[in-house]
Amino acid sequence: MKYDDVKDSISQVLISHEELDSKLDELAAQISQDYADVDNLLCIGVLKGAAYTLVSVTRRMSISTPVDFMSLSSYGSGMESSHTITVRSDLTTDVAGKNVLILEDIVDSGYTLNWLIAELKRRGAASVKVMALLSKPERREYEVPIDYLGFTIPNEFVVGFGMDYNDHYRNLDFIGVLDPKVYAN
């Protein structure tokens, strides 16, 4: 979907389709360069939000990489992630000895990534690095290293490019601020 399809629910376009495209090109080029001589790379994404980011970055890479997904539930409402994580659907790959690159949509409090990095190390990953399309540093409660970052954004609830409100708006081709009237009542 494009802006015109949802303009009544979006108060601001934060990152346009074109800006996303060129940032994804940049990130993929940098990752491809850094991992060119690294064996056993595995790119993983956390469903559902990071699916768009993972596919968009890996298809732009110039090196071959396996991909895998994990679904985590954080038992939250539409807008907050509660701090209890359970694995709803696990990776199908044994990460022991793998150089794992996590591709995330957004780092907010940092809790999810903090948990995931520890879990992958516990399973024996040789290295764990992180690419995040977006970061909201004002909201950080758990420090997480972001090795590759797309954009730093203000403390606003955003949707699009994988990010949802009640499972909608993920398929926007841009990132926008959800108009508060959508969740006011």
Binding ligand 5GP (rule: CB under 6 A), the pick from 28, 133, 158, 175 is: 158
Calpha distance 138→109 (Å, rounded): 9
Asked whether position 163 contacts ligand 5GP by CB under 6 A, the answer is: yes
- Residue 15 found at the interface with ligand 5GP (CB under 6 A): no
- Segment 95 to 134, residues that bind ligand 5GP, using CB under 6 A: 105-112
Q: Does 14 bind ligand 5GP (CB under 6 A)?
A: no
167 is catalytic: no
- Measured from the CB atom, is 55 or 126 closer to ligand 5GP? 55
Omega of the bond leading into 48 within 30 degrees of 0 (cis): yes
Stretch that binds Mg ion, among 7-15, 34-42, 98-106, 149-157 (CB under 5 A): 98-106
Partner from ligand 5GP, Mg ion, none binding residue 109, C-beta < 5-8 Å depending on class: ligand 5GP
Interface with Mg ion (CB under 5 A), residue total: 5
Among 1-9, 33-41, 57-65, 162-170, the segment contacting ligand 5GP (CB under 6 A): 162-170
Interaction residues for Mg ion, span 113-172 (CB under 5 A): 164
Contact between 176 and ligand 5GP per CB under 6 A: no
From the list 90, 105, 108, 164, the catalytic residue is: 108
Measured distance CA(143)–CA(137) in Å, rounded: 10
What is d(CA 104, CA 106) in angstroms, rounded to the nearest whole number?
6
Instruction: Confirm or reject binding of residue 179 to Mg ion (CB under 5 A).
Output: no
Where does this chain bind ligand 5GP (CB under 6 A)? 49, 81, 105-112, 157-159, 163-165
